[in-house]
Amino acid sequence: MKKIACIVLFGIWASAAEAGCNDGDIRNRAELWQRLTQRSVDIVSMLAVGDPTVEGLIAPEAKFSLGAGDVGEPLGNGLAGAAAFSTSLNAASYQIEGWDSVPFPVENPCARHIARVTFYDATRQNGADVKLSFEQGRLIEADGWWRSYSYGTISR
């Protein structure tokens, strides 16, 4: 039975690679978190400069929305929705929280996984907390909410 399980597991990774997922080398949650959060930033950056290769990172049926307060706004699907999302974000910077807990193993890094990134629009002094969902290495959904923020120094 152990041999059959190994064959099935290998089959899952092989089929994921065939589907275009290049994340089969990831073995734990810390590596996966780092890869997907950085991919999220890369996608927003690529969209901002009009890089046509971003299309390979976004599923055609991907959904995009960005809300504020208690009102969400659907921005469309696929590459057009992604472009509208990037334009609405007007991101000047970002923040990623690190994976600071146990880096548990990942059975299938190409399955559906979630990343979270905060993108900041310095013009409006807003930050959008964004949950990004990936499957087969491609972005399938991005849902964000604007938050106001402030920062400063601590007197010592």
Q: pLDDT tens track of the chain, all 156 residues?
A: 333 333 333 333 333 333 468 888 998 999 999 999 999 999 999 999 999 999 999 999 999 999 998 899 999 999 999 999 999 999 999 999 998 888 899 989 999 999 999 999 978 889 999 999 999 999 999 999 999 888 889 999
What is the per-residue pLDDT for 7? 30
What is the per-residue pLDDT for 20? 65
User: Structurally, how many domains does the chain consist of?
Assistant: 1
Count, in order, helices (H) and strands (E) of the chain: 3, 6
Residue at 90 is within a domain: yes
The Cα angle at residue 15 between residues 132 and 61, in degrees rounded to 5 = 35
CB atoms closer than 10 angstroms to residue 28: 14
What is the per-residue pLDDT for 93? 95
Query: In this structure, what are the phi and psi dihedrals at residue 27, rounded to the nearest 5 degrees?
Result: -120, -15
Residue at 38 is within a domain: yes
Residue at 132 is within a domain: yes
Query: Domain span at residue 39?
Result: 27-148
What is the per-residue pLDDT for 54? 97
Residue at 19 is within a domain: no
Residue at 8 is within a domain: no
Residue at 17 is within a domain: no
What is the per-residue pLDDT for 125? 82
Residue type, 35: R
What is the per-residue pLDDT for 122? 72
Residue at 156 is within a domain: no
Q: What CATH number is given to the structural domain containing 133?
A: 3.10.450.50
DSSP H/E element including 81: helix 78-89
Residue at 6 is within a domain: no
What is the per-residue pLDDT for 19? 47
What is the per-residue pLDDT for 78? 98
